[in-house]
Structure 1
Amino acid sequence: MGRIFEVRKAKMFARWDRMAKQFTRLGKEIEIAVKQGGPDPENNPTLRRIIQNAKSVNMPKDRIEAAIKRAMDKDKSAYEEIIYEGYAPHGVAVLIETATDNPTRTVANLRMYFNRGGGSLATSGSVAFLFKRMGEFVLEKEKLHNPDELELELIDYGMEDFGEDEEGHLIVRTAFHDFGRMNEFLEQKAIPVVRAQPIYIPTSVVELPEHEAQQVLELVDKLEQDDDVQHVYHNLI
């Protein structure tokens, strides 16, 4: 019984850690959106989208409001969005989106993770060409009246990929330049969106044996845990 309790407790703390990291990341996105477009979601579509993403993962309302207030504090330094590139072990390309108020700290931490994980931090442009920036929308399939008919409409607004994830959500992807147009269409149609965000998709992939893939994923996990890191993308399959 004691062993079972310890396992459950470890899983619970891991879940809390993931949730805390998610809330921190969304809080930064809210602050950046407010700095760029103002605190009113009605007049700031980026902020409106991020707040919807935050609600979809049950981020408390008071934390959302606190992030908006922090962004309006003129004495508080703004976050800088910086993309870093690197190679994980066995030549796997890695792209890291960060939001930081101290780039010197951020790059030092990232270099440490890469060095300890058997990879290397690379110069700008080294691996970015291996990724394509796209817009991704996650829709609640069970709330859609006619998914097949919707698919035809979405094509007119820039949809390039259409699929379903393991949880039964519909995944819609557009070219990045069509992201805003698609977001506006879904809002006008009142189509329930679980999450909407720009992402990077690898244009070529690497397949590795299980033990080598595990080394890559361990490095990715270390990168994702850093407070300055927002998203990590790689081309391992």
Structure 2
Amino acid sequence: MSGHSKWKNIMHKKGKTDAQRAKVFTKIGREIMVAVKEGGADPAANGKLRDLIAKAKQNNVPNDNIERVIKKAAGGDDKNNYESMVYEGYGPNGVAVIVEALTDNKNRTAGEVRHYFDKFGGNLGTTGCVSYMFSTKGVIVLENDGLDEEKVMEDCMEAGVEDFDFTEEAVEIETIPAECGNVREFLEGKGYTIVSAEVEQVPSTYTQLDDPEHIRKMNLLLDALEENDDVQNVFHNWENQEEEE
């Protein structure tokens, strides 16, 4: 699990402004709406919704906001039909980038994403151009508030995780995607503090950036993508991003 630290990326994002955090609330709300429309409003019967409610709480979304979004989607008040889209491309110096979006206007979103890549020294590619360098994994981060490494290892083995990385600040765990929610619930039941638990695209190889201009443009590209209302997730193989900023 080398190459980048999910924990440090989370801490970096927690330092963002209230306006940026509000945008995170909106994006999670959009995911919840889609999950309710696809699988119903009962989290006990809708595993995807259950995972998204947990994600919302991990991002400090108020319970009232979560309930309001679920009721709106269940009642058919949301008239938007969001479609899932995935874009692949290259940032400066060939950094591989995958962009996941939920959009009600494919042409608008594709045009905006292409513009960001062009503006900041990259280029949008075709489907499959970089995804072969990534594997879909469940990634769970536990806060290390004085955890015992041997006990964590035992619990991870019992939960059936694929890999884990124990550090002074956090424990980063990989699972098969379908088991991410179940492992999260198992570890919550054991009393662990879950910082995040999501299905992600994990790089198998990484690209370093040494040129300050490449680093500047890569940061601008990531910021522009993450600021876009339609973009839900951005994955990349820039090595040790948090140390190069």
With the shorter chain as reference, the TM-score category is 0.7 to 0.9
The one-letter code matched in structure 1 to 2:90 is Y
DSSP-derived class of the 2:162 partner: strand
**Percent identity among equivalent residues?**
40
Q: Are residues 1:118 and 2:121 paired?
A: yes
Distance 1:127 1:194 in 2: 28
Aligned to 1:176: 177
Aligned to 2:242: none
The one-letter code matched in structure 1 to 2:46 is N
| Contact 2:28 2:52 (C-alpha < 8 Å) held by counterparts | yes
Q: Are residues 1:67 and 2:69 paired?
A: yes
Distance 2:103 2:233 in 1: 13
Aligned to 1:84: 87
**Change in 2 beyond 3 A, CA 1:31/1:147:** farther
DSSP-derived class of the 1:96 partner: strand
C-alpha offsets along residues 182-209 of structure 1, whole Å, 9 cap, x if unaligned?
2453355464423211011111111121
User: Which ranges in structure 2 are unaligned for 5 or more consecutive residues?
Assistant: 1-14, 240-245
1:36 to 38, 49, 55: 38
Distance 1:98 1:231 in 2: 7
Offset of residue 225 of structure 1: 0.7
Aligned to 1:6: none
Matches within 5 A, 1:192-211: 192-211=193-212
Return the structure number with greater helix share. 1
DSSP-derived class of the 1:43 partner: coil
The one-letter code matched in structure 2 to 1:200 is Q
C-alpha offsets along residues 59-115 of structure 1, whole Å, 9 cap, x if unaligned?
122211221123224361332121110111211111001111111111011011111
| Contact 1:52 1:194 (C-alpha < 8 Å) held by counterparts | no
C-alpha offsets along residues 113-166 of structure 1, whole Å, 9 cap, x if unaligned?
11111211111111110111100112233386x552232232344422312467
Does 1 or 2 have the higher relative contact order (CA < 8 Å, sep 6+)? 2
DSSP-derived class of the 1:201 partner: strand
Offset of residue 217 of structure 1: 1.8
Distance 1:172 1:70 in 2: 34
**Change in 2 beyond 3 A, CA 1:39/1:156:** same
| Contact 2:88 2:97 (C-alpha < 8 Å) held by counterparts | yes
The one-letter code matched in structure 2 to 1:50 is L
Matches within 5 A, 1:1-237: 15-74=17-76, 76-142=79-145, 146-164=148-166, 168-186=169-187, 189=190, 191-211=192-212, 212-237=214-239
**Change in 2 beyond 3 A, CA 1:72/1:165:** farther
Offset of residue 218 of structure 1: 1.3
Normalised by the size of structure 2, how large is the TM-score?
0.81
How many residues of Structure 1 are paired with residues of Structure 2 in the alignment?
A: 223
| Contact 1:132 1:203 (C-alpha < 8 Å) held by counterparts | yes
**Change in 2 beyond 3 A, CA 1:219/1:158:** same
Bigger CA radius of gyration: 1
Normalised by the size of structure 1, how large is the TM-score?
0.84
The one-letter code matched in structure 1 to 2:113 is L
Measured on the aligned residues, the alpha-carbon RMSD in Å equals 2.3
